[in-house]
């Protein structure tokens, strides 16, 4: 399992190839699920991967043509620079389903409007900060700043090296997950338990240096 303590959902995981333990392509990562959402969980763990199957796997008897494959996170052996590697072969992967109440990160977190405890609008979610802990991948915060947006645009268009010189001048605007009160998918909102001023004060503090 990779040892990185900071990860970007968009840059490090989304659209990355998923391979079995023998290196055979299963598909590409479309989304991750976490939850069911519980405010008591300061850092909710990822539960499942949602994978778009490759052409060969679409024809497998265990998968409906074109339908995404749900794979439990416990099947992930390692997060490598170019692939997400599983600990089983393609033949050992059986059908699975999302549990009631699970939250899809790309569908229900990314691009959602963040509002504070009084309903005042903040920015939208540009990326999701994540961290590995004892083999579990957990949500640590939501990036609502320009830096997160540049990562998305740069990675999508292959311009990330051009944007890197700007990163040092831009402040991190990551709202810690412990500040989230509830999700409201019907409105496209993520409501915080703190005020907008509290969020700004937290972002004004110097970032912590990750432990090597």
- Is residue 209, in this structure, part of any structural domain at all? no
Do 122 and 42 lie in one domain? The reply is no
Q: Say if residue 179 is in the same domain as residue 115.
A: yes
DSSP-assigned letters across all residues of the chain: ----S-EEIIIIITT-EEE-TTS-EEEEEEEEEE-S--TT-SSPBEEEEEEEE-HHHHTSTTS-TTPPEEEEGGGEEEE-SS-EEESS-GGG-----PPTT-EEHHHHTTTPEEE-TT--EEEEP-EEEEEEETTEEEEEEEE-SHHHHHHHHHHHHT-HHHHHHHHTTSPP-EEEGGGEEEEETTTTEEEESS-HHHHHHHHHSPPPPPP-
- Does residue 18 lie in a domain region? yes
Q: For residue 50, what pLDDT is reported? A: 97
Q: Are residues 97 and 120 in the same domain?
A: no
CATH classification at residue 140: 2.30.30.240
* pLDDT of 156: 56
pLDDT for the residue numbered 1: 37
pLDDT of residue 158: 55
Does 177 share its domain with 150? yes
Q: What is the pLDDT of residue 110?
A: 92
Which structural domain, as residue segments, surrounds residue 117? 106-204
Residue-wise pLDDT tens for the chain (212 aa)? Answer: 333 457 889 888 999 999 999 999 999 999 999 987 777 778 899 999 999 998 776 555 445 556 899 999 999 999 999 999 999 999 999 878 999 989 999 999 999 999 999 999 998 998 999 999 888 999 999 988 776 666 666 555 555 566 566 555 556 688 999 999 999 888 889 999 999 998 877 665 544 333 33
Residue after which a domain boundary falls, among 70, 103, 136: 103
Residue finishing a domain among 103, 129, 162: 103
Residues 112 and 64 in one domain: no
- Per-residue pLDDT at 211: 31
pLDDT at site 180: 92
Do 42 and 131 fall into the same domain? Answer: no
């Amino acid at each position: 399992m990779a040892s990185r303590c900071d990860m970007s959902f968009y840059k490090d995981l989304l659209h990355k190839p998923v391979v079995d333990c023998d290196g055979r392509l299963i598909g590409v990562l479309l989304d991750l699920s976490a939850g069911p959402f519980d405010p008591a969980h300061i850092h909710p763990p990822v539960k499942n991967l949602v994978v778009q199957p490759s052409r060969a796997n679409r024809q497998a008897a265990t998968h409906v043509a074109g339908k995404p494959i749900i794979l439990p996170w416990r099947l992930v052996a390692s997060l490598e620079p170019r692939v997400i590697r599983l600990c089983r072969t393609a033949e050992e992967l059986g059908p699975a389903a999302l549990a009631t109440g699970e939250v899809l990160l790309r569908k229900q977190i990314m691009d959602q409007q963040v509002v504070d405890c009084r309903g005042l609008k903040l920015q939208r979610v540009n990326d999701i900060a994540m961290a590995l802990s004892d083999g579990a991948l957990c949500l640590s915060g939501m990036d609502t700043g320009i830096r997160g947006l540049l990562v998305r645009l740069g990675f999508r268009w292959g311009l990330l090296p051009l944007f890197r010189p700007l990163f040092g001048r831009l402040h991190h605007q990551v709202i810690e997950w412990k500040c989230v009160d509830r999700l409201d998918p019907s409105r496209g909102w993520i409501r915080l338990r703190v005020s907008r001023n509290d969020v700004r004060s937290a972002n004004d503090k110097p970032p912590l240096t990750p432990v090597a």
